[in-house]
Amino acid sequence: MNETGSTYQAVRIGDTSDWRLICAISETGIQAYLKNTANPTEEVITLFDQDWERNPDTLLSNIENAVYDHPQVLDDFSADIVLTAPRAIWVPLEYADDDEGCDSLYSRIYPLAGDDLFAEEVADALCLYCLAPGLKAFLGRTFPGARIHCHLAVMARSFRDRGADMPTLFMNIRKGEVDMTLIDRRRLLLSATHFWHHPEDLEYHAYNVLDVYSLDPKEMQISLAGLRDEKAALMTALRKRIAYVMNAMLPSLGVKAGMPLQAAMLLRVQSQSKTTSR
């Protein structure tokens, strides 16, 4: 659903301490959900789902306006916020032991202004990412104490924890982008976002990962999530060569609520991740 400030209606929930806020923010929109922590089987409540056109010049103001137009998200909830930030890099922890070094590493690839860099640990690697200049300061002021996550770190941690006895490639198909995470027996090999324009691009990205990591199509599996039609077409194409291709298993409450994958996965997470300020 799409709501504006003029149509917004607050949800009756009672004690905020019994609820957890999960927000997903991307370059093209924001979704906010409430999860009842006192009754884990209760359905997830959608507070709002707002979209906008991709425009880096207006991204921060779009996020700010959406939050202020839906003031219930500012209540005193325990909160997790996941940023879908394609401009992310992974650095081994031994090379990321100080703020200045992280800034330098990141700015070699992507522009970085001031204190806009986020960092999140997954196993022995650090995910460095930035979605919009000024966003880090805004979230710090508006959601004090909230746990901030990168969508790639959420995928990497969640899929790594599941483990498998063979290499597994997880692909989450979004409009124009596909998030890919490759795990080999709990070892993180890849977690990145790639762009696509035609459905055939998705198949190319999958087979390119196999080639880069010298994976045997008969000795690996691929799990798919995301856009229904593109996912179905890709599954059919991949099954011609890949032994095990299936739908990714997601929390049923998240699926029922229509949550994006990165937000649905946070239903299983409390404060396991370590997000640091850089």
> Would you state the pLDDT for residue 274?
42
Nearest CA among 16, 7, 105, 31 for reference residue 262: 31
Question: pLDDT tens digits, residue range 141-164?
Answer: 999 999 999 999 999 999 888 766
> Would you state the pLDDT for residue 8?
61
The amino acid occupying position 33 is Y
For the entire predicted model, the pTM comes to: 0.90
> Would you state the pLDDT for residue 269?
67
Question: pLDDT tens digits, residue range 90-141?
Answer: 999 888 777 778 888 898 899 887 789 999 999 889 999 999 999 999 999 9
The yes-or-no verdict on residue 1 having pLDDT over 60 is: no
